[in-house]
């Protein structure tokens, strides 16, 4: 039987799917983080582990990994030469490393025209027109990810401290946040010392929830975040027939807040990012394209 592998790797986990040449998924497996910019060696280890586990789950010899082609969508592949470095050390028969945004777009809209926005802990955007893709954002929490959960959570903590110092008006939400940190601003600051983007992002749903209740600070933060998202969507230059898929945990929270010009484009995604990697692998390496037997 002909097999292909689709792999979706990010800062939290790596997922692999073993599929037949036509893209029918047989098994899935999961391992540790696979951000190739932050840990190339660790990412390779987890990629190979997930792929071998997917083969084992299908009752196949995991050594067949060397005869099986793979499409990998990985966090960190949009920066530097990490993509090329990884491709040189992967054990697959053929490796195609793409960004995580590329496989997310493939999963969401298929191989045709369309756009997607990943709105979760981070944020990234991509559009495809006439076979050519363009990525926007995805530069990370420190210098990008506007509209992301991490940035929304950071903004909430910032506004909480500004309210505590009397620089900006507070609200029930900022009072609630101070209570979380025992009404001690030093505890809040200490939290940020080692907090990761996901730690900040954990506060984002609370901000959306309080904005729906009319909380002034929450409303200000979300209005600004929506403006950031729409500024990125504007650059995608959507055509009249383009589907737009909002992905990530915050996608459903943003959808009703977008302007009608963007809501009119919204469509449910065809598949997730792992499904996109499988679709791409089947198209590139499937029946008659040299997939592993």
Whole-number pLDDT of residue 237: 95
Does residue 287 have a pLDDT over 70? no
What's CA 57's distance to the chain center, in Å? 26
Average pLDDT, the chain: 93
CA distance 135 to 236: 9
Whole-number pLDDT of residue 292: 52
Please count the CA atoms within 13 angstroms of the CA of 180 that sit on its side-chain side.
16
Whole-number pLDDT of residue 111: 86
Cα angle 257, 102, 111; round to 5:
95
Whole-number pLDDT of residue 76: 83
Tell me the pLDDT tens digit for each residue of 167-177.
999 999 999 99
Tell me the pLDDT tens digit for each residue of 54-92.
999 999 999 999 999 999 999 888 888 999 999 999 999
Does residue 286 have a pLDDT over 90? no
Whole-number pLDDT of residue 81: 93
CA distance 103 to 280: 8
DSSP annotation of 63 reads: G
Collapsed DSSP state (helix, strand, coil) of residue 60: coil
Are residues 10 and 75 in contact, defined by beta-carbon separation less than 8 angstroms? yes
Instruction: Provide φ and ψ at 285, rounded to 5°.
Output: -125, 10
From the list 66, 68, 64, 104, the residue with the least C-alpha distance to 277 is 104
Q: Where are the alpha helices (DSSP H) in 165-215?
A: 172-180, 185-194, 197-201, 204-212
Domains of the chain: 3-110+270-285 (3.30.420.40), 149-263 (3.30.420.40)
The percentage of residues in the chain with a pLDDT greater than 90, rounded to a whole number, is 83
From the list 282, 268, 290, the residue with the least C-alpha distance to 108 is 268
Does residue 11 have a pLDDT over 80? no
pLDDT band of residue 30 (cuts 50, 70, 90) is very high
The percentage of residues in the chain with a pLDDT greater than 70, rounded to a whole number, is 98
CA distance 104 to 111: 11
**CB count in 10 Å sphere of residue 49:** 18
CA distance 264 to 177: 36
CA distance 227 to 233: 10
CA distance 139 to 232: 13
From the list 48, 4, 51, the residue with the least C-alpha distance to 24 is 4
Whole-number pLDDT of residue 167: 98
Does residue 50 have a pLDDT over 70? yes
Tell me the pLDDT tens digit for each residue of 183-227.
999 999 999 999 988 899 999 999 999 999 999 999 999 999 999
Whole-number pLDDT of residue 289: 55
pTM of the predicted structure, to 2 decimals: 0.82
Whole-number pLDDT of residue 84: 95
CA distance 276 to 245: 13
pLDDT band of residue 291 (cuts 50, 70, 90) is low
pLDDT band of residue 275 (cuts 50, 70, 90) is very high
Tell me the pLDDT tens digit for each residue of 94-147.
999 999 889 999 999 998 999 999 998 889 999 999 999 999 998 888 898 999
Whole-number pLDDT of residue 17: 98
Are residues 18 and 3 in contact, defined by beta-carbon separation less than 8 angstroms? yes
State the distance between the two ends of the chain, measured CA to CA, in whole angstroms: 5
CA distance 248 to 13: 15
């Amino acid at each position: 039987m002909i097999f292909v592998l689709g792999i979706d790797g990010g800062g939290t986990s790596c997922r692999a799917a073993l599929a037949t040449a036509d893209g029918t998924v047989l098994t899935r497996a999961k391992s540790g983080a696979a951000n190739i910019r932050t840990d190339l060696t660790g990412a390779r280890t987890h990629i190979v582990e997930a792929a071998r586990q997917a083969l084992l789950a299908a009752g196949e010899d995991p050594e067949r990994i060397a005869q099986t082609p793979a499409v990998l969508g990985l966090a960190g592949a949009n920066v530097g030469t990490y993509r090329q470095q990884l491709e040189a050390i992967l054990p697959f028969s053929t490796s195609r490393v793409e960004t995580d945004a590329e496989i997310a777009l493939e999963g969401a809209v298929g191989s045709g025209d369309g756009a997607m926005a990943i709105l979760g802990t981070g944020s990234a955007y991509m559009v495809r027109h006439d076979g050519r893709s363009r990525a926007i954002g995805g530069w990370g929490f420190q210098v990008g990810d506007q509209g992301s959960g991490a940035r929304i959570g950071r903004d909430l903590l910032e506004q909480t401290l500004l309210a505590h110092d009397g620089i900006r008006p507070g609200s029930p939400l900022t009072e609630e946040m101070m209570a979380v940190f025992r009404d001690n601003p030093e505890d809040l600051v200490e939290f940020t010392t080692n907090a990761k983007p996901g730690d900040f992002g954990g506060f984002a749903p609370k901000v959306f929830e309080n904005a729906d209740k009319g909380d002034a600070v929450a409303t200000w933060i979300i209005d600004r975040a929506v403006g950031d998202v729409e500024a990125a969507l504007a650059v995608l230059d959507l055509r009249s027939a383009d589907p737009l898929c909002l992905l990530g945990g915050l996608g459903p929270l943003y959808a009703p807040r977008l302007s009608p010009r963007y809501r009119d484009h919204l469509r449910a995604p065809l598949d997730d990012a792992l499904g996109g990697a499988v679709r791409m692998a089947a198209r590139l390496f499937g029946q008659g394209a040299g997939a592993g037997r």
